[in-house]
């Protein structure tokens, strides 16, 4: 094994400048999906990607989607690619996206965000460098490196690249569902590289939290009232609302919704062990949030709070006085927004039911004559997979080969809805294999990927496919 991989790694190093040039070309296409005026650039990026794949000998299928709802603009196509179709090899489905977040120099970039610009520390700045053009191209570079090294490609690849990920992945879920038993039918396992390390150490992600997002409206008077004239004589909607919102959790974040803590999966010894060696400290948390306002004293508690326990956040209030200065208003109708991040074994329906019941009961206690309405604005299930699956074992070995250490097995607190969609539609194990570092500033000004992460990332993907086959 070592000799084959050594040859592969040496080839990657030999043509690494070529791979950086490929990333330069991709970053130069401003494929911002949020801006309809830039849609032609997103389409152009998809065509460029399809051509690169064709140049590597992949079978490419450019699949148009419909028009974007409520507009005359076409959605960018899904780029499908197949590389190899040997029945004796495993088939790995990979997903990535070729669109990017908006960026303009005035947001705080030191150089043109659409010109890949390197510094003397090997950081390569540019929109999409880490999210997700770098990882997408790393797959292409893996194919090319195997070809240049003269090593047979170890698996069949089924590629699925979308152009609307930064704008809600419009059209993707339906497409995945319709092709699950079609184009993707041969899939043995799935790999997604579209996230970053937790800190400065490679990791594999095996879980995500879900999201139930609520809106609770309290209304009373027909119009806003003067607090001098009416204060004390009428039930104030905002007064009711802050009571309801305060009833949801304690000052230390403990959720007070009856029945909800009981459905959280108990902590097992095996799971506890996974937290033991994770390279992360509370100082890392404090440096990221810019304050020492973390709730817990130990790293383990902090990580568990982010990954394996539910959390409740109040986001804001619509309809109240929200600008600077003082206004003596009793707002007539106010809407509080809050959400729960959910974890095993909570179900979407159960959470909705418990939350709605709690909110209604707390409002009832106020004996207010106002009217309360509650609705669910978003709902998405958590995702958790088995990190002992061969898909993870292969990736773990690959990281040991390339980085000389075992990856941390982590979860994330946020949601990546497409992971759940794919798992449910295709029914195979999904591996989240991050490529960039926590400092890469995806979605922010000065997004970057380290040249080292990009090149070692190509090695990691190649070694991963090698171990999948082995």
Which amino acids are annotated as binding site, given as ranges?
Answer: 97, 131, 166, 194, 226, 328, 341, 415, 443
Eight-state DSSP code of residue 209: -
Residue selected from 36, 199, 239, 445 as contacting its own copies according to rule CB under 8 A: 239
Rounded to 5 degrees, φ, ψ at 116 are -65, 120
Helix 16-27 × helix 39-55 angle, to 10°: 150
Site for its own copies in 160-219 (CB under 8 A): 209, 211, 213, 215
Rg (CA), the chain: 25
Q: Which part of the chain contacts its own copies (CB under 8 A), choosing from 113-121, 138-146, 169-177, 233-241?
A: 233-241
466 vs 87, 144, 250, CA distance in Å? 16, 15, 50
CA distance 206 to 387: 6
Residue selected from 47, 318, 400, 423 as contacting its own copies according to rule CB under 8 A: 318
Q: Do residues 393 and 429 lie in contact, with contact meaning Cβ atoms separated by under 8 Å? A: no
Residue selected from 122, 199, 253, 445 as contacting its own copies according to rule CB under 8 A: 253
Q: Which part of the chain contacts its own copies (CB under 8 A), choosing from 29-37, 45-53, 270-278, 311-319?
A: 311-319
Eight-state DSSP code of residue 191: E
Eight-state DSSP code of residue 36: G
Residue selected from 310, 387, 436, 457 as contacting its own copies according to rule CB under 8 A: 310
CB of 171 to its own copies, least distance (A): 20
Residue 329 touching its own copies (CB under 8 A): yes
Q: Is 453 exposed, middle or buried (0-12, 13-18, 19+ CB in 10 A)?
A: buried
Q: What spatial distance separates the first Cα and last Cα of the chain, rounded to whole Å?
A: 9
Residue selected from 57, 316, 427, 470 as contacting its own copies according to rule CB under 8 A: 316
Which residue lies nearer to its own copies by CB, 139 or 338? Answer: 338
Best CA proximity match to 137, nearest among 464, 465, 461: 461
Q: Do residues 115 and 27 lie in contact, with contact meaning Cβ atoms separated by under 8 Å? A: yes
| Three-class secondary structure of residue 192 per DSSP | strand
Residue selected from 109, 183, 197, 309 as contacting its own copies according to rule CB under 8 A: 309
The reply to whether 165 belongs to the active site is: yes
Catalytic residue from among 99, 240, 401, 456: 99
Which residue lies nearer to its own copies by CB, 29 or 285? Answer: 285
What does the block give as tokens for 246? Answer: 């305060």
SS (H, E, C) 321-383: CCCCCCCCEECCEEEEEEEEEECCCCCHHHHHHHHHHHHHHHHHHCCCCCEEEEEEEEEECCE
What does the block give as tokens for 327? Answer: 């206004």
Size of the site for its own copies (CB under 8 A): 83
Residue 246 touching its own copies (CB under 8 A): yes
Residue 290 touching its own copies (CB under 8 A): yes
Catalytic residue from among 162, 165, 362, 440: 165
CB of 223 to its own copies, least distance (A): 6
Q: Do residues 363 and 269 lie in contact, with contact meaning Cβ atoms separated by under 8 Å? A: no
User: Other CB atoms closer than 10 Å to residue 20's CB: what's the count?
Assistant: 17
Residue selected from 68, 249, 385, 391 as contacting its own copies according to rule CB under 8 A: 249
Residue selected from 150, 182, 222, 266 as contacting its own copies according to rule CB under 8 A: 222
CB of 182 to its own copies, least distance (A): 32
Site for its own copies in 3-62 (CB under 8 A): none
Which residue lies nearer to its own copies by CB, 50 or 225? Answer: 225
Site for its own copies in 355-414 (CB under 8 A): 365-370, 377-378, 412-414
Residue 220 touching its own copies (CB under 8 A): yes
Site of tokens 């809805």: 417
CB of 253 to its own copies, least distance (A): 6
The reply to whether 99 belongs to the active site is: yes
Tell me the catalytic residues: 99, 165
């Amino acid at each position: 094994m070592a000799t084959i991989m050594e040859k592969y790694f040496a080839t990657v190093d030999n043509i690494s400048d070529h791979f950086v040039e490929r990333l330069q070309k991709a970053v130069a296409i401003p494929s911002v999906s949020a801006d309809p005026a830039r849609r032609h650039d997103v389409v152009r990026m998809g065509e460029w990607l399809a051509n690169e794949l064709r140049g590597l000998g992949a079978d490419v299928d450019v699949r148009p989607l419909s028009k974007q709802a409520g507009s005359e603009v076409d959605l960018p196509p899904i780029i499908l690619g197949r590389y190899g179709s040997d029945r004796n090899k495993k088939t790995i489905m990979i997903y990535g996206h070729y669109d990017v977040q908006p960026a303009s120099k005035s947001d705080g970039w030191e150089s043109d965000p659409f010109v890949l610009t390197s510094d003397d520390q090997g950081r390569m700045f540019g929109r999409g460098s880490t999210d997700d053009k770098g990882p997408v191209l790393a797959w292409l570079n893996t194919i090319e490196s195997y070809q240049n090294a003269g090593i047979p490609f170890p698996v069949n690849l089924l590629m699925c690249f979308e152009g609307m990920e930064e704008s809600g992945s419009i059209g993707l879920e339906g497409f995945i569902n319709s092709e699950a038993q079609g184009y993707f039918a041969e899939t043995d396992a799935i790999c997604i590289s579209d996230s970053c390390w937790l800190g400065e150490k490679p990791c594999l992600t095996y879980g995500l939290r879900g999201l139930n997002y609520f809106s609770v409206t309290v209304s009373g008077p027909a119009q806003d009232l003067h607090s001098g004239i009416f204060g004390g004589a009428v039930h104030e909607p905002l007064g009711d609302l802050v009571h309801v919102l305060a009833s949801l959790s304690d000052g230390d974040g403990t959720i007070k919704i009856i029945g909800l803590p009981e459905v959280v999966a108990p902590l097992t010894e095996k799971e506890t062990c996974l937290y033991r060696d994770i390279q992360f400290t509370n100082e890392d948390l404090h440096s990221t949030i810019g304050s020492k306002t973390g709730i817990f004293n130990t790293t383990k508690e902090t990580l568990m709070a982010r990954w394996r326990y539910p959390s409740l956040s109040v986001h804001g209030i619509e309809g109240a006085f929200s600008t600077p200065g003082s206004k003596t208003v009793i707002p007539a109708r106010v809407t509080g927004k809050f959400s729960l991040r959910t974890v095993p074994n909570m179900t979407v329906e159960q959470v909705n039911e418990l939350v709605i019941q709690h909110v209604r009961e707390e409002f009832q206690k106020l004996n207010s004559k106002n009217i309360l309405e509650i609705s669910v604005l978003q709902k998405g299930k958590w995702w958790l997979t088995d990190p002992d699956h061969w898909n993870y074992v292969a990736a773990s070995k690959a990281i040991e080969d390339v980085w000389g250490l075992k990856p941390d097995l982590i979860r994330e607190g946020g949601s990546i809805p497409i992971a759940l969609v794919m798992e449910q539609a295709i029914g195979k194990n999904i591996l989240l294999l991050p490529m960039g570092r926590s400092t890469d500033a995806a979605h922010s000004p000065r997004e970057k990927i380290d040249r080292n992460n990009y090149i070692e990332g190509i090695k990691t993907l190649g070694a991963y496919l090698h171990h999948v086959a082995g």
